[in-house]
């Protein structure tokens, strides 16, 4: 008992000079063990346990049920697509669909485990912003995969092979599972927006607001545009590399804002955050507008030289799809810029 008391005194002295939350948890755990307590006694050790499982009743909540369905559908989608074999499984859009399903499954699984084990309380992340970001990004990416996979992968496979030899049932089932995953992520996003409105101080989580969701939309559209450009045959033209670089720069600006909010780095920003958002939004809007202008001029220049075709994977249709996505992203950046101007005027 004397040895245990000396050990407890030494640990208390070392912990007093430490700032780590893990050191405090270790100290409380050893103190409870030395004094004969139980680590699972929630009445005497409530709020001090580093990890504590949620109640099993939480598994029946709409949020948890949505996440379980998301993992089921995304796992089913990439399993069925892989089971279809390599025939018809080539190209950037097929890789994009597989990446979307795998990323959504892994991200949702990590969020589910972190929340069920209460491990998120030990992470230096904003748990009000991270689940909303994952749900919104996964919903948009699965929606894109649900549209592009049948149009760009299945249609090409149908055109190149006979129906008797085509392993289409697996791929069609994968497309249906992707649509169901999109619906599940949409339900989770709606539930989070309803439940995650305001914190204790009355402030709304940024990623649950219009500007935050627009940032996720901008990054998602940039990913789809890059995949579309990767499938265009002979895409090189004057200003093409500049346009791609500008698109990547716009996506990185939006991604930087998302990481700042999720990582709770807003207080460490050396500049006023509202002004920084305004500068980012204005710069991204100007770059996106310039890219759309260059792309439109190139389409008009090549309109006579390019042959129109009925297949979705031809150069002309992919150029049109890229222009439409860039225009949609420009609209998102314009709306984001208006939000940033309003926020800056209200703060000033």
* pLDDT of 274 higher than 70: yes
Q: What is the mean pLDDT of residues 57-68?
A: 84
Asked whether residue 56 is assigned to any structural domain, the reply reads: no
Tell whether 224 and 279 lie within a shared domain: yes
**Which of 184, 208, 232 is the last residue before a domain boundary?**
208
On the CB side of 146, how many CA atoms lie within 13 Å of its CA?
Answer: 17
Please tell me the total count of domains within the chain: 3
Write out the residue range of the structural domain in which residue 28 sits.
2-45
Tell whether 116 and 34 lie within a shared domain: no
Asked whether residue 104 is assigned to any structural domain, the reply reads: yes
Tell whether 85 and 182 lie within a shared domain: yes
Tell whether 268 and 254 lie within a shared domain: yes
Tell whether 217 and 318 lie within a shared domain: yes
Binned at pLDDT 50, 70 and 90, residue 232 comes out as low
Tell whether 202 and 108 lie within a shared domain: yes
Asked whether residue 54 is assigned to any structural domain, the reply reads: no
Tell whether 188 and 309 lie within a shared domain: no
On the CB side of 93, how many CA atoms lie within 13 Å of its CA?
Answer: 24
- CA separation (Å) from 127 to 172, 214, 220, 262, 299? 36, 19, 21, 8, 44
Asked whether residue 342 is assigned to any structural domain, the reply reads: yes
pLDDT at 306: 55
Binned at pLDDT 50, 70 and 90, residue 179 comes out as very high
Asked whether residue 340 is assigned to any structural domain, the reply reads: yes
On the CB side of 133, how many CA atoms lie within 13 Å of its CA?
Answer: 26
What percentage of residues in the chain have a pLDDT greater than 70?
A: 69
d(CA 217, CA 269): 24
Tell whether 217 and 340 lie within a shared domain: yes
Greatest mean pLDDT among 102-106, 193-197, 303-307: 102-106
Tell whether 162 and 255 lie within a shared domain: no
Higher pLDDT, 139 or 266: 139
Taking a C-beta distance cutoff of 8 angstroms, is the pair 82, 18 a contact?
Answer: no
Tell whether 72 and 198 lie within a shared domain: yes
Token pair listed for 310? 């009925």
List the alpha helices (DSSP H) in the chain.
Answer: 2-16, 21-34, 42-45, 62-83, 92-116, 130-148, 155-160, 168-195, 210-231, 240-262, 273-302, 315-347
**Which of 174, 208, 242 is the last residue before a domain boundary?**
208
Taking a C-beta distance cutoff of 8 angstroms, is the pair 188, 113 a contact?
Answer: no
d(CA 146, CA 149): 6
Tell whether 289 and 257 lie within a shared domain: yes
CB atoms within 10 A of CB 13: 9
């Amino acid at each position: 008992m004397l040895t245990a008391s000396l050990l407890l005194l030494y640990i208390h002295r070392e912990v007093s000079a430490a700032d780590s939350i893990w050191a405090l948890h270790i100290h409380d755990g050893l103190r409870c063990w030395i004094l004969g307590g139980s680590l699972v006694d929630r009445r005497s050790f409530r709020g001090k346990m580093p990890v504590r499982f949620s109640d099993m009743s939480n598994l029946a909540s709409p949020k948890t049920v949505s996440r379980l369905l998301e993992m089921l559908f995304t796992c089913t989608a990439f399993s069925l697509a892989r089971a279809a074999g390599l025939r018809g499984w080539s190209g950037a859009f097929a890789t994009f669909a597989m990446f979307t399903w795998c990323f959504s499954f892994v991200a949702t699984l990590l969020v589910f485990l972190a929340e069920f084990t209460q491990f998120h309380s030990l992470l230096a992340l904003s748990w009000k912003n991270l689940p909303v970001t994952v749900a919104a990004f996964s919903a948009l990416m699965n929606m894109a995969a649900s549209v592009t996979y049948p149009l760009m992968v299945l249609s090409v496979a149908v055109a190149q092979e006979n129906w008797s030899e085509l392993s289409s049932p697996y791929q069609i089932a994968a497309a249906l599972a992707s649509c169901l995953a999109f619906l599940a992520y949409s339900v989770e996003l709606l539930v989070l927006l309803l439940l995650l409105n305001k914190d204790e101080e009355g402030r709304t989580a940024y990623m649950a607001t219009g500007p935050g969701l627009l940032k996720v939309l901008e990054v998602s559209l940039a990913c789809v545009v890059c995949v579309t450009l990767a499938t265009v045959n002979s895409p090189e033209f004057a200003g093409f590399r500049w346009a791609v670089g500008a698109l990547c720069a716009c996506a990185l600006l939006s991604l930087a804002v998302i990481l700042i909010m999720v990582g709770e780095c807003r207080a460490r920003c050396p500049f006023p955050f509202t002004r920084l958002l305004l500068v980012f939004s204005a710069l991204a809007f100007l770059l996106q507008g310039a890219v759309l202008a260059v792309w439109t001029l190139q389409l008009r220049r090549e309109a006579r030289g390019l042959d129109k075709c009925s297949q979705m994977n031809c150069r002309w249709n992919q150029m049109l799809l890229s222009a439409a996505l860039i225009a949609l992203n420009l609209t998102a950046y314009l709306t984001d810029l208006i939000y940033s101007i309003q926020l800056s005027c209200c703060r000033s």
